[in-house]
Amino acid sequence: MHIETTTKVANSLEVLEKLLERISSGRLAKPDWIKLQGKCRLDKMGRDQRESILDRLHGCVLRGFRANNVDFDDEETRLAYWRSVARKGFHDFSEQGWMKSYDSPFREDYDYIGPYLDGGLSKLDAYAAYTAVLGTFDFTVEDFVNTELCPGVRTIVEPMAGTAEFAYHSHFHRPDFRYVMIDLDAEAQERVLAQRWLEMTEKHYLIANILDESVWDQVKSITTGESLAYVGKQSHHLFGAKEIFRLLEVATQRVDYLMLETPQLAPVTEMGGTDDVSRTEMEDAGLEVELIEDPDGEPNPFTNLMHFHLGASDKTGRRRLFEYRDWTVWSQPTLVAMARVLDLNAFYFHSETHEFTSVDEEWEDSDVEDEVTFMLFTRRDLPPSA
């Protein structure tokens, strides 16, 4: 089901001031977005005025703001603008606009460029750079539970959670849900638990191997309502065939729905080489971030195995941020074949209807060839047809 959002428009600073005043005094409900256009230009303000407006904007929107009317003479002023907005609690890692976590009262600092400018490549926060270039911000649990298949979900599990963006962002929409994150990386756990979470939310970050059946028993014992497990960023590609098969088997015995984020459907041979994923603020700061095929990493078209890493470089040198050794692209048909062997029902998230659709049904208008898609596996029966 599509999620409706509200947008208020400000064409001038005076209109924006009045709008913020009406919202902060409670006379007008917070819109999802505020759109600044025409003469309402953040780039034409002094830094103090801009930051004071951004402070107020943060408390007056549910999701964020859009300002496509900015224009800069040079890289330095563009970077200064980006950093001042990021420090005031908005990021533009999503294509939707400058976003904050949904209705979050916390003004988070998204300026990961500052530490790099101060200390060079060694001080670049690898997790933050990874989040900026590969973060998934456009979908949260809000999208997946607002469906005919999953309205009963109350527990979200994030296996291979790493920085757990899915659980963290989702909890702002549904603080009443339980969140269980699982990873081998104690540093990632520490980082995630140090973030500001809404107090009422129950969260658990387990350090465990998700192929170990007992961790799923632990998940089951924590579960309330129906449960949905979500593996993001195609992390399951780190597994070999027996491991992914085992994950599909053991996870679906203990959770109601297992979702895997899958890449766009394309031959693996198109995925090798070097992919420059640098963002504008990185380039403005003199930094380049790339997904780089390892010397022995050329994708094998028979096995879909490849090796690559996320690397950062600047005029002083290079740094490897994250390794992706033994990465096997488990394309949708392979996953569906495994699901058939295990007698699981297989669905994908249809981008037009925003519903989970059986892989045996409608596939026109799905953007499986252009975008990441989400596959869902379950032992449950198909939902009643409309």
Ligand X SMILES: C[S@@+](CC[C@H](N)C(=O)[O-])C[C@H]1O[C@@H](n2cnc3c(N)ncnc32)[C@H](O)[C@@H]1O
Judged by the rule CB under 6 A, the positions of this chain that interact with ligand X are 160-163, 165, 182-185, 188, 209-211, 232-233, 235, 238
Alpha-carbon span 158 to 182, nearest angstrom:
6
Alpha-carbon span 55 to 20, nearest angstrom:
11
Alpha-carbon span 206 to 48, nearest angstrom:
43
Name the residue nearer to ligand X (CB basis): 99 or 188: 188
Q: How far is the CB of 230 from ligand X (least distance, A)?
A: 8
Write the CB contacts of 312 (distance below 8 Å, at least 6 apart in sequence). 121, 124, 129, 287, 288, 289, 318, 319, 321
Q: How far is the CB of 40 from ligand X (least distance, A)?
A: 35
Name the residue nearer to ligand X (CB basis): 81 or 216: 216
What is the DSSP pairing of strand 355-358 with strand 33-36? unpaired
Task: Yes or no: say if 269 and 301 are a contact pair by the CB < 8 Å rule.
Answer: yes
Within 88-211, where are the H helices? 113-119, 126-134, 141-145, 165-173, 186-194
The residue whose two tokens read 């001038």 is 12
Write the CB contacts of 187 (distance below 8 Å, at least 6 apart in sequence). none
Task: Yes or no: say if 11 and 34 are a contact pair by the CB < 8 Å rule.
Answer: no
Name the residue nearer to ligand X (CB basis): 56 or 246: 246
Name the residue nearer to ligand X (CB basis): 73 or 95: 95
Name the residue nearer to ligand X (CB basis): 61 or 188: 188
Alpha-carbon span 217 to 308, nearest angstrom:
34
Q: How far is the CB of 309 from ligand X (least distance, A)?
A: 12
Name the residue nearer to ligand X (CB basis): 62 or 161: 161
Name the residue nearer to ligand X (CB basis): 170 or 357: 170
Alpha-carbon span 235 to 237, nearest angstrom:
5
Task: Yes or no: say if 97 and 68 are a contact pair by the CB < 8 Å rule.
Answer: no
